[in-house]
Amino acid sequence: MSRNRDVDNAKKLLGIPLNGTAEDAKKRYKELAKRWHPDINKSAEALSKMQAVNEAYFFLMKEEFGILDPWEDYNRWWWRQYGNDPIWGNYYPEENSRTDENTKKAIHHHSNHREGKIK
């Protein structure tokens, strides 16, 4: 299949017009996720529908709109919200090149815990 046909199919699956924008895709993705997410929709087809929606959304965001990681905004928000919390994580690496001693300890503790060195 050609790229253009794949883009058109992804837009059709998401239910956005052929001249739709990234914001249209994002809005429609959220609507479809609320409808088809397996944690919400217990039907047998929910998982396959949600997987198709995810694939179409990520393909469209990358190929049509040039957004390589649609979750980047969420990741940035999370790190701003919880970044210096010793339990949840550390700082967002790109935004803060300097770390204080407590943050370094938290990062070390968190990485050791993740690797199974601390239980």
Which H or E run includes 60?
A: helix 46-63
Pick out the chain residues at pLDDT < 50: 95-97, 99, 110, 113, 119
Specify the pLDDT at position 44: 94
Residue with tokens 């968190």: 110
pTM above the 0.75 mark?
A: no
Q: Taking a C-beta distance cutoff of 8 angstroms, is the pair 36, 53 a contact? A: yes
**Amino acid, res. 112:** N
Specify the pLDDT at position 108: 53
Q: Report domain extents, the chain.
A: 3-63, 72-114
| CATH number belonging to the domain at 3-63, selected among 1.10.287.110, 1.10.3720.10, 3.40.50.720, 3.20.20.410 | 1.10.287.110
CA separation, residue 111 to residues 16, 80, 98, 103 (Å): 42, 19, 18, 12
Specify the pLDDT at position 91: 53
Quote the distance between the C-alpha of residue 82 and its chain's center.
17
Specify the pLDDT at position 5: 93
